[in-house]
């Protein structure tokens, strides 16, 4: 991973960054990031697939490991398929999940086959 200084973005401006599938087709956009206040690591990108698949304006918290930044696209690429998204955990605006609930987050990581960040801490 090549962490160049040019890859920096303000937290306040990350909203709206596009999310693409492996074919480079736009799926949705970043609504927000969930950041671990202690480590500073982004844990989830909360993605809106508005309109796509009739998913409306629901927000999908997606583990960071499922997204890869593509400088040419100026956005994130994910290998998550429409089939997977249809059954994915999501919430409506104003109905934020229980971020402090370990069971909820365990389910979220299990769904995407991602290693929980608290079991595999970021090495700084």
List of residues contacting a copy of itself (CB under 8 A): 1-12, 14-15, 17, 32-44, 46, 64-65, 69, 99-102, 105, 117-118, 121-124
Q: Which residues, other chains included, contact 123 with Cβ-Cβ below 8 Å and sequence gap of 6+? A: none
SS3 of residue 118 by DSSP: coil
Min dist. Cβ of residue 80 to a copy of itself (A) = 17
Q: Tokens in use for 99?
A: 């971020």
- Tell me whether residue 23 or residue 98 sits nearer to a copy of itself (CB atom): 98
Min dist. Cβ of residue 54 to a copy of itself (A) = 26
Cβ 47 vs Cβ 39: under 8 Å: no
Min dist. Cβ of residue 83 to a copy of itself (A) = 26
Number of CB atoms found within 10 A of residue 95's CB: 9
């Amino acid at each position: 991973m090549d962490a160049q200084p040019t890859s920096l973005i303000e937290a306040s401006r990350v909203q709206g960054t596009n999310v693409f599938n492996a074919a480079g087709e736009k799926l949705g956009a970043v609504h927000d990031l969930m950041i671990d206040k202690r480590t500073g690591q982004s844990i989830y990108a909360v993605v809106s697939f508005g309109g796509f698949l009739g998913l409306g304006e629901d927000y999908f918290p997606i583990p960071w490991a499922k997204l890869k930044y593509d400088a040419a696209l100026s956005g994130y690429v994910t290998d998550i398929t429409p089939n997977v998204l249809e059954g994915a955990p999501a919430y409506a605006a104003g109905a934020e999940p229980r971020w402090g609930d370990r069971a909820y987050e365990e389910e979220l990581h299990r769904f995407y086959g991602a290693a929980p960040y608290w079991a595999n801490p970021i090495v700084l």
